[in-house]
Amino acid sequence: MKTLVIAEKPDMGRNIAAAIDPKAKNHRSYIEGEHYIITWAIGHLIGLAEPDAYDDRYKKWNINDLPIIPDRFKLVPNRKTIDQLKVIGELAKRSNLLVNSCDAGREGQYIFSLIQRHLKLSQPVKRLWISDLTPETIRKGFAELKDGSDYDNLTKAATARSEADWLIGMNGSRAFTTKHNVLLSVGRVQTPVLALIYDRQKQIEAFSSLKFFELEGHFKQDGTTYRGMWQGERMTDKAKADELAAKVKGKPGRIASYEAKETKEYPFKLYDLTLLQRDANGKYGFSAKKTLDTAQALYEKHKVISYPRTNSNYVTEQNIPEMHKTLNALQGTAYNEWVQGANRGLVHKGNKFICNPAKVEDHHAILPTNRKAGGLSADEQKLYDLIVRRFLSQFYPAAEYKVHSVMTEVENETFKTTVKELLSLGWKVIYADQKKDKAKSKGKETDESGEEEIEVSEPFSVNPGEGVTCSDAVVKEKDTQPPKHYTEGTLLKAMESAGKQIEDEELREAMKDSGLGTPATRAATIERLKNVGYVDMQGKKIVVTQKGRTAIELIRGAGIDLLTSPEMTGLWERRLNEISRGTASNAQFMENVKKFATMIVDKVRVQSRAAKTSFESDPSSAPASKGTTRKAAVSRSRAAKPKPDGTAAPSASSSAVIAACPRIGCGGSIFMGRKGYGCSHYKEGCKFVIWKDSFGRSLTNTQVKALVEKGKTAKLKLRLEDGTETEGKLVLRNIDNGELGIET
């Protein structure tokens, strides 16, 4: 019998086959060689069953049927990929050993465990745990396979995470939706993230700007000129500021104190996923999801970076030689000049800034591999460039500065000057070709403290013993600024620290275990908030919709503040991490989640129903995002009430009828919703839905009309579940539920 290797996705399976058995025969859904059969999942082949799998009465949403708390969670195959699941089941009959080669993380572990449970696979299991997909790493990983039982605790944590999300999501969403007659999505992670955005927006709206005045003195001493900010209580009276300016302008002064201190700035830490997402959002405007998808392509398809879904900024001792190999591999590329200037002696096992095995759990920091990058898309190249530059900077010394602190006194008034003089560029040479970011003050903003730091590249010095002249005094009018709206980058930072404002990098490290979600799931959480209509994007800014506001206010109004608490949910995430290490009980965690789900239902049951208008934006004040007309914004604000399946129920102001529902005896009409085309008789039990995104296409009204009325479309370019491109007609396979197939 042979060893069955189960990868998470087709590309990964093919990479593994090419590395360990290059002569193996490709059978399309698996690859078979002399000793190995390599096959794959297509993401999640199996999920947790819907409530109606436990009892038919749950087909209708009724608050009196809540809470729904299964004794044992049932599993159900994904209908779209059930054929691949059957393939794995048949191949397993010819195998006496399984190798779990799914992604080396919590979700990959869960995907394999669900397959194992559903198919009742009893063979012994080995675990492939690797951080990149180069052939050398794959072969090394197979030579060092771990026992599957070594990861039992990780499986327990993954299962607890999934079941906890089901309990909170199903019970919370059904309770609030049925009570208020509007689809309100509630989640263990998404709700506290929405609360973060809501609270920030409330702070912005409540902010009252205060006008104030700063006094900037301009000073001369021999050939040196410099500026300083007046030190004193904030001035809100312009007359007083003008009076001070007149008092010092043109007058002699003295240097009350002068200090020059040399400092060093070391390279930024290597990337974890969240830092990479934050940088890509700030620099290129990439969404968190786009960065994750692009990084996954660099890892899986191009094999030019290591595993991206990591929360570590460090490497282990075993990675140091690999880093040196990668540096050599970058010779002759666009990065050659920086490779030639690299100091290889700086990257070694004793450099705790880079190599810190205690801070590497599942995966080390994101690194480029020693494979040459070619054929990258523009976006892939941008992300790869970020990763390579961050990697190369570790081979360069610190940037060196001399910080000059000058206190100048004129007419008994004191002015503070801080000048940061560049002595040596160090690692910053790698970024010298890029446009400088807007000058930022170190520490407090100038409008809060009256201080600013001036960075110069030419030598600066003053003589404390000589007098100075105040050549000019300028009054600057300023306004206090409200907190800034979250961008995806700053929201990711807040999610990582469970909403706490943490600037200190060491504290940031300590909070990683108790953030909101994981690096791998945060992007999906943000996307979900958009998809359910809780937030909108205005350029890079994330703004809460009226529906999102009301959702948070209803949850808090019901007395379930815990559900909106980022810190509490962060502690749940920490507990899941403890379960994965074997230091906490998954059973106890689940008991607490069940009690919490029950409490949610009990609180909502006695809540008063919200007015329908409380979920609708005022069309006259709906903010139109860039590229959106006021008319479009008004139209969107009147969107129809969503159905439980995510499509939208028709209303007088929603999309026109596409076609009559094809279900025999239904009599309903097909309308376009947020994610798909659903039937107006959904409340009467009609489950007909055609999803907008099907087989790699975003379907048009015309194509859906053809499917409903003729049963098929014209010939289209389509994509199969395994990623294969094909040409064929979409056909309506099942008129009861809208299931589609392909006719080639």
Tokens of 60: 């209708």
Residue 71: name the closest of 163, 162, 172, 161 by CA: 163
Classify strands 669-672 and 659-660 as parallel, antiparallel or unpaired: antiparallel
Q: How far apart are CA 510 and CA 533, in angstroms?
A: 33
CA distances for 289 relative to 123, 255, 285, 535, angstroms: 36, 54, 11, 15
* 151 assigned to active site: no
| Neighbouring residues of 328: CB distance < 8 A, sequence distance ≥ 6 | 339, 370
Tokens of 346: 């700086």
Radius of gyration of the chain (CA): 30
Between 190-206 and 566-581, two packed helices, what is the crossing angle to 10 degrees? 150
Tokens of 380: 């892939």
Q: How far apart are CA 580 and CA 586, in angstroms?
A: 9
Q: Quick one: three-class SS letters along 510-536?
A: HHHHHCCCCCCCHHHHHHHHHHCCCEE
Q: Tell me the β-bridge partners of 455.
A: 420
| Neighbouring residues of 2: CB distance < 8 A, sequence distance ≥ 6 | 32, 35, 36, 37, 94, 95, 96
* 1 HSE (CA, 13 A, CB side): 12
Tokens of 391: 């990697």
| Neighbouring residues of 368: CB distance < 8 A, sequence distance ≥ 6 | 304, 305, 306, 326, 330, 384, 387, 388, 391
Strand, helix or coil for residue 152: helix
CA distances for 169 relative to 528, 563, 594, 600, 639, angstroms: 13, 11, 12, 11, 23
Q: How far apart are CA 174 and CA 305, in angstroms?
A: 42
Q: Which amino acid is present at 585?
A: S
Count of beta carbons in the 10 Å neighbourhood of residue 403 = 16
Tokens of 525: 């959480």
Burial 51-86 (b: 16+ CB within 10 A, else e): beebeeebeebebeebbbbbeeeeeebbeebeebbe
Which position among 30, 36, 226, 307 bears the catalytic label?
Answer: 307
Catalytic residue numbers read 307
